[in-house]
C-alpha cells in the first residue's frame, strides 16, 4: 500500500497484475528486505501515528509508542479546560509528538520542546510545520533545563531514557539495532535522567503546575522516593494495558489519590 500509494485496503486486494510495474515490485522487495532484517516499520514507511496524528519519523528519533499516549490522557484529566492558556515544556522531545499533540488538545497553549540532538530537533520542527502548530512552539537544543532560562511552566512532560544499561543489552533486535541508543538508555541504572530532571524541576514548574513522566517496568517505588526527596508528590498514575504503571504525575501540592489509578 505504501509503494503503490493506496489508502484503501480493499483496493489493494482488487489490483490486477498489469496495474503493478516492475519498478514498483522492486521497490516493494527492497522494503521487504529491510523488514526481514528487523528494521521497524515506522522507519521503513517514514511515519508513525500518535494520538490522532501522523508524525514524520526517521532513525534520528525514538519511534512514538502507545504507552506515551498515556501522558496525553493523564494531562487531559488534570487540565480539563481546553481553552486554558498553558505553557508547556517537553524534555527530550524527539519527534515532538507530545508537545505538538498537546497544542492540538489545547489551542490556546504554547510549548517548548528541547532535545540534545540537532537532527531530532529538525524532525520535531518538520512535524510542527506539518501539523500547523509551528507558530505556538519553539524547539531548543538543551541538555534538559540547561538552555531554558528562567521561564516557568504549567505542564512539563518527559519520556526520558529510562532503560538501564543492563536491560538495553537484552532489548529486541528491532529496537536495539535501529532506534537511537541515547533516547533509550542512560547507560546507568535507568534513573540518572529522572534524577537530573527532578533536581531542577522546582525551579521551572509553576506552584500549581504538574510534571508528567513516562516510567519503565518496576520503576515506580524508586522513582516515588526520588520525587518525594525533591518536595513533590505523585498525585496521579496511569497504568498500561497490562496494568503496569507507565505514567506518573507529580505536583507540589496534591497528595496521591488512589482513586485516580486507571
Q: Assess contact for 86 and 99: CB atoms under 8 A.
A: no
Chain segment 107-123, per-residue pLDDT in tens: 999 999 999 999 999 99
In sequence order, the β-bridge partners of residue 47 are 56
Cα–Cα nearest to 130, from 57, 202, 225, 209: 57
Does residue 187 carry a pLDDT above 50? Answer: yes
The predicted pLDDT at position 226 comes to 95
Please check whether residue 219 lies inside any domain of the structure: yes
Q: Cell match 479546560: residue?
A: 81
For 173, other C-beta atoms within 10 Å of its C-beta total 10
The predicted pLDDT at position 16 comes to 83
Please check whether residue 17 lies inside any domain of the structure: no
Q: What mean pLDDT, rounded, does the chain reach?
A: 93
Mean pLDDT to the nearest integer, 170-178:
93
Please check whether residue 18 lies inside any domain of the structure: no
Alpha-carbon 185 to chain mean position = 14
Please check whether residue 214 lies inside any domain of the structure: yes
Total tally of structural domains belonging to the chain: 1
CATH number at residue 208: 3.40.50.150
Q: Assess contact for 142 and 114: CB atoms under 8 A.
A: yes
Please check whether residue 3 lies inside any domain of the structure: no
Chain segment 125-140, per-residue pLDDT in tens: 999 999 999 999 999 9
Chain segment 38-85, per-residue pLDDT in tens: 999 999 999 999 999 999 999 999 999 999 999 999 999 999 999 999
Please check whether residue 35 lies inside any domain of the structure: no
* Burial of 139 (C-beta count, 10 Å sphere; 0-12/13-18/19+): buried
The predicted pLDDT at position 253 comes to 57
Query: Domain containing 224: what range?
Result: 58-260
Please check whether residue 53 lies inside any domain of the structure: no
Of the chain, the percentage scoring pLDDT greater than 70 comes to 96
Q: How far apart, in whole angstroms, are the C-alpha atoms of residue 172 and residue 65?
A: 15
- Quick one: angle between helices 97-105 and 66-78, nearest 10? 40
Amino acid at each position: 500500500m505504501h509503494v503503490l500509494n493506496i489508502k484503501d485496503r480493499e483496493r489493494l486486494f482488487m489490483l490486477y497484475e498489469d496495474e503493478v510495474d516492475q519498478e514498483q515490485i522492486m521497490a516493494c522487495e527492497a522494503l521487504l528486505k529491510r523488514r526481514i532484517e528487523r528494521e521497524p516499520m515506522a522507519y521503513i514507511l517514514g511515519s508513525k501515528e500518535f494520538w490522532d496524528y501522523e508524525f514524520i519519523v526517521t532513525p534520528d528519533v525514538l519511534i512514538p509508542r502507545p504507552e506515551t499516549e498515556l501522558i496525553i490522557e493523564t494531562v487531559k484529566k488534570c487540565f480539563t479546560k481546553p481553552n486554558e492558556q498553558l505553557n508547556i515544556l517537553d524534555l527530550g522531545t524527539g519527534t515532538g509528538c507530545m508537545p505538538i499533540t498537546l497544542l492540538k488538545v489545547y489551542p490556546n497553549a504554547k510549548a517548548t520542546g528541547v532535545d540534545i540532538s540537532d537532527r531530532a530537533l529538525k524532525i520535531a520542527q518538520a512535524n510542527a510545520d506539518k501539523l500547523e502548530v509551528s507558530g505556538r512552539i519553539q524547539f531548543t537544543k538543551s541538555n534538559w533545563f540547561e538552555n531554558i532560562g528562567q521561564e516557568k511552566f504549567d505542564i512539563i512532560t518527559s519520556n526520558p531514557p529510562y532503560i538501564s544499561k543492563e536491560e538495553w543489552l537484552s532489548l529486541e533486535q528491532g529496537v536495539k539495532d535501529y532506534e537511537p541508543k541515547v533516547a533509550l538508555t542512560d547507560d546507568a541504572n535507568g534513573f540518572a535522567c529522572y534524577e537530573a530532571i527532578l533536581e531542577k524541576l522546582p525551579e521551572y514548574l509553576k506552584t500549581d503546575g504538574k510534571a508528567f513522566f513516562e516510567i519503565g517496568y518496576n520503576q515506580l517505588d524508586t522513582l516515588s522516593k526520588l520525587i518525594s526527596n525533591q518536595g513533590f508528590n505523585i498525585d496521579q498514575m496511569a497504568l498500561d494495558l497490562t496494568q503496569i504503571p507507565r505514567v506518573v504525575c507529580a505536583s507540589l501540592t496534591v497528595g496521591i489519590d488512589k482513586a485516580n489509578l486507571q
